[in-house]
Structure 1
Amino acid sequence: MTELLLAATSLDVTPPPGHRLDGYAARTDLATGAADPLRATIIWLSTADEPGVLWLTLDAIAVGKNLTTELAVAAGAAAGIPASHVVVSASHTHSGPSGWTGEIHPVIPAERERDLVDALTTEVRATCLARRSVTASWRSVEVIGVGTNRHRRSGPHDNTAGILALHSPEGSLEAVLLDFACHPTTYGPENLRYSADWPGAARAALAPAVVGFLQGAAGDVSPRFTRQGRGAAEVARLGGLLASRVREALAGPGLALPQSAPAIRRTTLDLKVREIPSAAEAARLVVAAESRANGQDDPSGRIAQTRLDGARGQALMAAVPLPDSLELPISVVTMGDVCWVNLPVELFAVHGACLQADSTHPVTRVVGYTDGYYGYVVDHSAAESGAYEALITYFDQPTTTQLLSRTTAFMNT
């Protein structure tokens, strides 16, 4: 009989102070310390005969192409499996260092810091991954109050959390692979301390189980309308809310999954980069956005400010040479009835819903920010209204449709 094997660990990879934080163009000062640890979490499911899949989840704004390659090689070496069986995902916290990935978009110039990258990959490569027998089960649960659509409270948002639970033969919860869609932006640009934000608080609340967090289709989802503050107490409240719902789901029955290793398939999509307005037109849009920004720290004020940020970001895109096309790595992981489709972009919620609706798998979870980073993928409404995300996306609406249709075709192959 095949035995499902788990190796799971969570590494504290918090850098020292003095490095630039990522996530907000308005933040220029260097990190002064840590509010809570940044972690690289490994969950590896395999059998004695099959390498299975190793998920490496990192508390970072993104995992760029180079960082993905280096981490996949390091984690593969630690496990003794090919790097092609490693999936590298970012939580998308806006309180991590920019130096791991470097510049993810012209909006926030940054450089890779070799000392930070080497420290991270060395830690991952040196990890001891002892495997033990587990059983796998699946649950999903509705979570209200962590995030909503950030353009309008009643807008599209997948408020379900997906839960892959891994129990020992004796019944103890060993690890959880948890996915949920919402920007980790409890801390704002004024924060100068590293933080995993609410995903880290949710992990801590679910201890001692090892929790790997996967960020969903969160391009237009955030705590903008739900957060009650900006500090550590609010991080704990939001993370605790998610964790409490996960615990409730774990207390009930789940869908038993087969005792076989998960499988992974990969492909690459070549997508055309949209035409950016001229420098003069981009500058005109900045002036118009400046006239509408009021500086208020309320939902409407923050929307106006983000649109100004988007206009400035588009102006930066107009000032640099962009490639004609981008190659996006797409992967599909399946385990029994459950499918995770992984994309290296920030999908809007409606796109995640479309992929789920068109999937032939009984359970489909859409994961972004994985194996690379190529910015926002926006819906028609955002493109027409000139939302922040639409101003800095690399892709127009026809290309977005192509991305979704080709991903669906590969997912259902």
Structure 2
Amino acid sequence: MSPGPPPVTPRPVRLRAGVAKTDITPADLTGLHPMPGAFSGVHDPLFLRALYLTDGDTEVALVSLDLIEVGDITPVRERIARELGIPAGHVVVTATHTHNAPRIADVSPGALAHAGGPESFAYTDVVYDAIVAAVRRARATARPARFGVGTGTADVNVNREEYADGRWSLGHNPDGPSDKTLRVLKFETLDGVPLALLVHYAVHSTVVFGTGEVSGDLAGAACRHIEDGYAEAAGGHAGESGDGEERSGGDVVALWMPGPLGDQAPRVALGLPFGVVPTERQKVRAYAAMEAQGLMVGAEALRVADRIGDATAAVRITAEQRTVACPVKSGHDVMETMRQDSVDSVPLRLALVRLNDVALCGVSGEVVTDIGRRLGTESPLAHTLLVSLANDRIGYLPDDARFDRPVHSVNGCPIRRGHAEGAIVDGLIGMITGRTG
């Protein structure tokens, strides 16, 4: 009698995950407002949240910052490669796009962005140090983990490109394209203790823009509700550890990854013309709207996470980044403080972090809804999440058809018609499928 086939050896558990969270609220607000004006104080703190992942062969680091934007973040990605050995092409840094927070890093040649002054670059150095330290802590606390993905719906965004009185302006267009889908990636230990929620949604965090006070705005409120919800369920509270560092490793961290938000405003916002000082009553109402909409997103994220039942530890990670040189278009009807160098091409940065059939697709600008939908339709994967403002912010990135209208996203786009949409979709699909051309 033959002995039969040898026993099948189960695939070893390979995914490991670690998290970190750090307060990055500036100690001195002087010169840090990204637009004309100045911050008068701090309403709620700004945070850096980091997620480290490895499958035993590939390491990646995802960082979300409560800032309006990051410029060319290459220096800190290269520093992580030097100091930690995680390849620069495996690091994705994005901003929640709260407009009540500073920007960091320099403006890429050809990009359309508000250039920072000396104070901004000094703050950039502080945040760079915090990013490296957070990734280091997240890696040091990494443990065997599993992950799952789920989707829900949150109706707190609305298309903002409105046609009224014979012209296009930023407003409220309920008939325009708007994706209400909320996507959640849940990471937990092998015995089911939650570590992190990655929350993907498309909306400008501009509910309290104009108050003049530092705030994480809608995205920050949503993340706070998620983290507090888990802390309360565990019988604790969200806060700092005894050594002054923000919690890392043990408590849940909610990372906000902005979706295609280039044409998406919050449904309820302060909404005053730029430069108009709000009354105290208007400010109170704005912060109430921020908390309410943040709660709606945070509560839906928690509901979705609770229903993710197919988490797996058998995860293969791949990561890649590409830069596409796109022909420059000058900005039109943009703010006077917008800087754009006179060059022939602007670097469009694309990033891919893939976990099994889930793709996080980073793009270095404010992508509009229709490009995100096209990418999802053409992708061969079950879950394809376009992440705006990843590793840079070169400007707005509209679809080709939108160039027929003088809308805000077209006026603020630094790339000529016929180049941005194709470079984004074709480039990312090529990265997902392994095409090199």
Asked whether the 8 Å contact 2:222–2:295 carries over to 1, the reply is yes
2:126 matches 1:119: yes
- Bigger CA radius of gyration: 2
CA distance in 2, matches of 1:325, 1:379: 18
Distance change (3 Å), C-alpha of 1:115 and 1:387? same
CA contact (8 A) 2:16 2:54 kept: yes
Matches of 1:181 and 1:250 in 2, distance apart?
Answer: 18
Report how many aligned residue pairs link the two structures: 368
Q: CA deviation at 1:398?
A: 1.1
Cα distance change of structure 1 residues 387 and 244 upon mapping to structure 2, 3 Å threshold: same
Whether contact under 8 Å (1:218, 1:346) holds in the other structure is: yes
The one of 367, 379, 385 aligned to 1:365? 385
Q: Distance in 2 between the 1:115 and 1:321 partners?
A: 22
Preserved CA contact (<8 Å) 1:140 1:162: yes
> Which residue matches 2:247?
none
- Check the 8 A contact 1:102/1:111 in 2, yes or no: no
Decide whether the 8 Å contact of 1:57 with 1:91 is kept in 2. Answer: yes
What is the CA distance between 1:360 and its match in structure 2? 1.1
Cα distance in structure 1, aligned partners of 2:70 and 2:194: 29
1:321–1:134 CA distance, 2 compared to 1 (3 A): closer
Runs (4 or more) in structure 1 with deviation over 6 Å come to none
The answer to whether residue 405 in structure 2 is matched with residue 388 in structure 1 is no
Q: Secondary structure at the match of 1:96?
A: coil
The equivalent residue for 1:250 is 305
Deviation at 1:75, TM superposition (A): 4.5
More strand by share: 2
Query: Which digits, 9 at most, give the CA deviation of each residue in 1:300-350, with x for residues without a partner?
Result: xxxxxxxxxx6244x777x96521111222111111111111110111101
Deviation digits for residues 223-243 of structure 1 (CA, Å, limit 9, x no counterpart): 1x4347753222111111001
Select 2:153's aligned residue among 142, 149, 152. Answer: 142
1:311 aligns with 2:333: yes
SS of residue in 2 equivalent to 1:134: strand
Deviations 1:3-36 (A, max 9, x none): 321110111011023333445x4x41x2232111
The structural deviation recorded for 1:51 is 3.7
* Distance (whole Å) between structure 1 residues aligned to residue 174 and residue 222 of structure 2: 23
Relative to structure 1, the CA distance from residue 123 to residue 114 in structure 2 (aligned partners, 3 Å threshold; closer, same or farther) is same
Q: CA deviation at 1:77?
A: 6.1
Q: 1:200-250: CA deviations, max 9, x gaps? A: 111111114101111110000011x43477532221111110011111112
Decide whether aligned partners of structure 1 residues 272 and 218 sit closer, same or farther in structure 2, where only a CA change above 3 A counts. Answer: same
Greater shift after overlay, 196-205 or 125-134?
125-134
* Contact 2:350–2:427 under 8 Å retained in 1: no
Q: Which amino acid aligns with 2:362?
A: N
Percent identical residues: 21
2:45 corresponding residue in structure 1: 37
Q: Which amino acid aligns with 1:365?
A: L
Paired amino acid for 2:368 = F
Separation of aligned partners in 2, 1:233 and 1:110: 30
Pairing 1:154–2:154 present:
no
Give the match for residue 67 of structure 2.
60
Q: Which residue pairs with 1:268 in the alignment?
A: 323
Cα offset, 1:258, TM superposition = 4.6
The 3 A distance-change label for structure 1 pair 227 and 164 is: same
Kindly indicate whether residue 347 of structure 2 is the aligned counterpart of residue 327 of structure 1: yes
Q: 1:194 to 1:102 in 2, by over 3 A?
A: farther
- Alignment correspondent of 1:187: 208
Q: Which residue does 1:216 correspond to in 2?
A: 259
Q: Is the 1:264–1:334 Cα contact (8 Å) retained in structure 2?
A: yes
* Residue aligning to 1:303: none
Structure 1 residue aligned with 2:54: 46
Letter in 2 for 1:115: A
Give SS of 1:88's match: strand
Q: Residues of 1 paired with 2:370 and 2:43: CA distance?
A: 33
User: Counting helix residues as a fraction of each chain, which structure ranks higher?
Assistant: 1
- After superposition, the Cα gap between the structure-2 partners of 1:383 and 1:79, relative to the gap in structure 1 and judged at 3 Å, is same
Change in 2 beyond 3 A, CA 1:21/1:337: same
Question: TM-score, structure 2 length as denominator?
Answer: 0.77
Q: Confirm or deny: 8 A CA contact 1:45 1:261 kept in the other structure.
A: no
Matched residue SS, 1:37: coil
Name the CA distance, whole Å, in 2 between partners of 1:154 and 1:124: 40
Conserved 8 A contact 2:105-2:121: no
Does residue 1:13 correspond to 2:24, yes or no? Answer: yes
- Deviation track 1:74-111 (CA, whole Å, cap 9, x = no partner) reads 5556754233321111111101114x235576563432
| Equivalent in the alignment of 1:97 | 102
Output the amino acid matched with 1:12: D
Residues 14, 313 of structure 2: 8 Å contact kept? no
- TM-score of the two chains, using structure 1 as the length reference: 0.82
What secondary structure does 2:39 align onto?
coil
Q: 2:268 aligns with which of 213, 226, 236?
A: 226
SS at 1:323 equivalent: coil
Pick the aligned partner of 1:206 from 219, 223, 226.
Answer: 226
SS of alignment partner, residue 60 of structure 1: coil
Amino acid at match of 1:406: G
- Per-residue deviation, 1:124: 2.9
d(CA) in 1 for partners of 2:223, 2:337: 37
Q: Could you tell me which runs of 5 or more consecutive residues in structure 2 were left unpaired when the two chains were aligned.
A: 1-11, 162-172, 232-251, 271-281
Aligned counterparts of 1:83 and 1:316: Cα–Cα separation in 2: 31
Letter in 1 for 2:46: L
Q: How does 1:285-304 map to 2 (within 5 A)?
A: none
Question: Do the aligned residues in 1 keep the contact of 2:397 with 2:420 (CA within 8 Å)?
Answer: yes
